[in-house]
Amino acid sequence: MEKILFGDNQFFGVNHASDEKSRAQLIKFKEDAAIIKTLDAAMDAGIRTFMCTTYERIGNICETIKSNPVKYANYHVYPCMPYAHKYANAVTELGIMGAMKQYVPGNFVGSIFKGGLAYLSKDYGSIMELLIDTEMKMFKGVSTPVIFLQNIVTDLLLGLNAIDVLVAFNEYVQKKYNAEAGFITMNMPKLVTALERKGVINPIICTSINVLGFRMSGGKELYEKTLATKKCRVIAMQIFGGGSINPKQAIEYVCKLPNIESVLFGASSKANIEQTVSWIYEFDTQNV
């Protein structure tokens, strides 16, 4: 993985610091061309990896990437699935079975009607694989060397001690997509230990890491201990603590921690992208 990854929160109005900024970002990026322009600015600053949710509009971005193979040579996209709001909206509009008919093949839904909950509980692996394949359709023809499971699912399965499902996700994306699995979590120490016990060694984990301990379950000290003692490849996200940390201070703290393989951030302007990239390389002590 590259040292710096570019995120997509700003494109879809996710801003932890201000609802007003969220609305402004939604307006700014209402056209796909504005998203592409910002991705190009990040690419000009040396960032060639875009980490994004499987939001419907990302399909348009993938089409732009595929239609410009020279410009986006050696450009990578890291899908993060599932995009929970997509399924929630479908359930609201179509009902549970209507949503399932929309996102999984008809024969499979028919089997569920016949077998009910027993079928669901027996064949969770097949359901997972179908949903992964559905989410990955928009990325066909795009380089996706790492495929992530969103924290809403990772942490639910972690809490239920359903680690075998996480292992199955890891194995399926390797086998089907020749990619590495990544896990987004709000409890990195617990996840690393759980995966390690199941034989998943040196996993890719994207998690909140910041000097305030913002969204770091178990606390900053436990995260620092885990980074120093466990074998894992960590992507630091939410490094600015929802906008409450001085950016330069935030970057300095994260870059001096061990086992931080990549830093993930999002920005709306070329100037902010360039400044953040400059600070990351200034404070990076691992020279990745």
Residue ranges with strand state E in 138-220: 146-149, 180-185, 204-208
In the predicted structure, residue 159 carries a pLDDT above the cut 70:
yes
- According to the model, what pLDDT value does residue 191 have? 98
User: In whole angstroms, what is the distance from residue 84 CA to residue 150 CA?
Assistant: 9
In this prediction, residues 127-140 reach a mean pLDDT of 89
Could you tell me the two tokens for 27?
């307006």
40-80 pLDDT, tens digit each: 999 999 999 999 999 989 999 999 999 999 999 999 999 99
% the chain with pLDDT above 90: 73
274: enclosing H helix or E strand: helix 270-283
Q: Tens digits of per-residue pLDDT, 100-128? A: 666 655 555 554 444 454 445 556 677 78
Q: Is the pLDDT of residue 252 over 90?
A: yes
Rounded to 5°, angle at Cα 261 from 245 and 36: 75
Angle ∠(214,217,219) on CA atoms, nearest 5: 70
pLDDT score at 114: 46
Question: Which is more confidently placed, 199 or 106?
Answer: 199
Mean pLDDT value across the chain: 88
Listed by start position, the domains of the chain span: 4-88+119-220+229-246+258-267
Q: The tokens of 100 are what?
A: 């399932």
Instruction: Check residue 288 and give its pLDDT.
Output: 42
Q: What is the pLDDT of residue 16?
A: 56
For residues 104 and 271, the model is more confident at: 271
Specify the pLDDT at position 91.
Answer: 57
| pLDDT of 169 over the 60 cut | yes
pLDDT of residue 22: 77
- Judged against a pLDDT cut of 80, whether residue 84 lies above it is answered with no
Predicted TM-score (pTM) of the model is 0.89
Q: What is the pLDDT of residue 118?
A: 44
pLDDT at 96: 56
Of 84, 60, 63, the closest CA to residue 72 belongs to: 63
> 4-88+119-220+229-246+258-267 in CATH: which number?
3.20.20
